[in-house]
Amino acid sequence: MTALRIVHIYKDYAPVLGGIENHIRVLAEAQARRGHHVSVLVTQRAGLPFSDTVINGVRVVKVPRQLNVQSAPISFAFPRWVRLLTRNADIAHLHAPYPIGELCNLWFGRARHTVITWHSDIVRQRTLLRFYTPWLRRVIAHADRIFPTSEVYARTSPWLQRHLDKCRVIPLGVDPQRFAPPAHPPAPSGVLRLLSVGRLRYYKGLDDLIRALSTLHDAEAFIVGDGPMAAAWQALARQLGVADRVHFIGEVDDEALPRWYQNADVYVIPANARAEAFGVAILEAMASGLPVISTEVGTATSWINQHGVTGFVVPPRDPQALAAAIERLRDPRLRRQMGEAARARVLAEFTEAHMLACVEAAYRELTDASAVPRAAQSA
């Protein structure tokens, strides 16, 4: 098998915690283990210098950022490094949305093929989108393949609807051995332990979980992660008198993360916008044998979590409906039944191995086709 030269382009990478960041790390390291030459180009955390290191077989280039415009870090060195790293590359793999990376690849990229994993539309930054729209159309036109993470998102995205011929749905995946139910489940404590994991951004909707908790008894919420909404949600918990039952854990390292799932009873993700396009943490919870309560926001979340089978799907921005679903899962037999169905669903459709095989096949489809002599192609 011929080794490929692959460059992943995004704004952040490990140790920054987040679903996209972790997906890129998993994908890049697995590709390196398969013998490919893999680089990742991202911006450095604010205030940190340039770095160019090899981490688990992946060359990781982090260039200093000078500005941050509506969650999009800007580095003046990014264009030069896009040109350098893609000059002899077979694949430039963009991870959207990150307009700076997408534009730099459009203008300066030199890879033979460009693919985009479409993690989400640009949802909230409407001012940015107004100016970016004509360029985004060119980015999409320039791409050879687009990988939406679910069919429902591809068909409902205003950007992808007209380009379904370019789309190859590749769901994200998790390692079911790393995220697994505990060998010895903790004894019931009488208090329902609710868990939510991820960056604390507005669209996670955790204010609705906090409001739901104020109407519930014998329930506690453990919120793992950090982000711009942390202070506001902590203040809300104090205001509603539930600060002693809402535990903001902050960021945890990869080694400790599975234990948080194993010690929980129910996973809750009350998202309120399409920015929650997939939800890798939902898969981690389901692989860990947890039932899930999610919301219907027209994305993959309510495709992954099947209502009445692996958990419950409730309307967004509805703390009362959220509380009612939590109450239904006080039944340990129902939790166990749904948790077992959740893990079975992950094993069937959402493993890392399946995701990696699909990405590899899509790469090979492009590179093998381009290797065929033009005369043979036209014959």
Higher pLDDT, 310 or 188: 310
> Both 230 and 335 in a single domain?
yes
Whether 379 is covered by a domain: the verdict is no
Contact 123, 117 (CB under 8 A): no
> Both 10 and 117 in a single domain?
yes
How far apart are the C-alpha atoms of 184 and 179, rounded to whole Å?
Answer: 14
Residue 32 reports pLDDT greater than 80: yes
> Both 102 and 218 in a single domain?
no
> Both 19 and 87 in a single domain?
yes
How far apart are the C-alpha atoms of 179 and 254, rounded to whole Å?
Answer: 11
CATH number at residue 283: 3.40.50.2000
> Both 140 and 271 in a single domain?
no
The pLDDT value recorded for residue 376 is: 47
Residue 200 DSSP one-character state: -
The whole domain housing 166 covers 5-173+352-372
Averaged confidence pLDDT in the chain: 93
pLDDT one-digit tens code per residue, 190-200: 899 999 999 89
How far apart are the C-alpha atoms of 162 and 175, rounded to whole Å?
Answer: 33
Mean pLDDT (whole number) for 364-374: 78
pLDDT one-digit tens code per residue, 262-305: 999 999 999 999 889 888 999 999 999 999 999 999 999 999 99
The pLDDT value recorded for residue 374 is: 45
What is the distance, to the nearest Å, from the Cα of residue 359 to the centroid of all Cα atoms in its chain?
16
Residue 103 reports pLDDT greater than 60: yes
What is the distance, to the nearest Å, from the Cα of residue 23 to the centroid of all Cα atoms in its chain?
7
Whether 118 is covered by a domain: the verdict is yes
How far apart are the C-alpha atoms of 97 and 369, rounded to whole Å?
Answer: 28
> Both 75 and 151 in a single domain?
yes
Mean pLDDT (whole number) for 60-71: 87
The pLDDT value recorded for residue 129 is: 78
> Both 344 and 368 in a single domain?
no
Residue 330 reports pLDDT greater than 70: yes
The pLDDT value recorded for residue 372 is: 55
Count of domains observed in the chain: 2
Nearest Cα to Cα of residue 172 among 20, 47, 43, 67? 20
Residue 378 reports pLDDT greater than 60: no
Higher pLDDT, 371 or 51: 51
> Both 196 and 161 in a single domain?
no
> Both 314 and 298 in a single domain?
yes
Whether 227 is covered by a domain: the verdict is yes
The pLDDT value recorded for residue 377 is: 45
Mean pLDDT (whole number) for 33-42: 97
Whether 356 is covered by a domain: the verdict is yes
> Both 160 and 231 in a single domain?
no
Listed range (96-105, 252-261, 368-377) with the worst mean pLDDT: 368-377
Q: What's the sign of the alpha-carbon dihedral 72, 78, 84, 85?
A: negative
β-pairing, 311-314 vs 292-295, is parallel
Whether 184 is covered by a domain: the verdict is no
In the chain, pLDDT over 90 holds for what percent of residues?
Answer: 83
Whether 185 is covered by a domain: the verdict is no
Q: For 1-125, where are the alpha helices, taking DSSP H only? A: 19-33, 78-86, 99-108
Whether 50 is covered by a domain: the verdict is yes
Whether 234 is covered by a domain: the verdict is yes
> Both 140 and 279 in a single domain?
no
Higher pLDDT, 326 or 1: 326
> Both 265 and 314 in a single domain?
yes
Residue 314 reports pLDDT greater than 80: yes
Which positions ≥6 away from 14 have C-beta within 8 Å?
Answer: 21, 22, 25, 55
Mean pLDDT (whole number) for 93-98: 96
Mean pLDDT (whole number) for 353-378: 81
How far apart are the C-alpha atoms of 146 and 14, rounded to whole Å?
Answer: 24
pLDDT one-digit tens code per residue, 116-151: 999 999 877 777 778 889 999 999 999 999 999 999
pLDDT one-digit tens code per residue, 218-269: 999 999 999 999 999 999 999 999 999 999 999 998 899 999 999 999 999 9
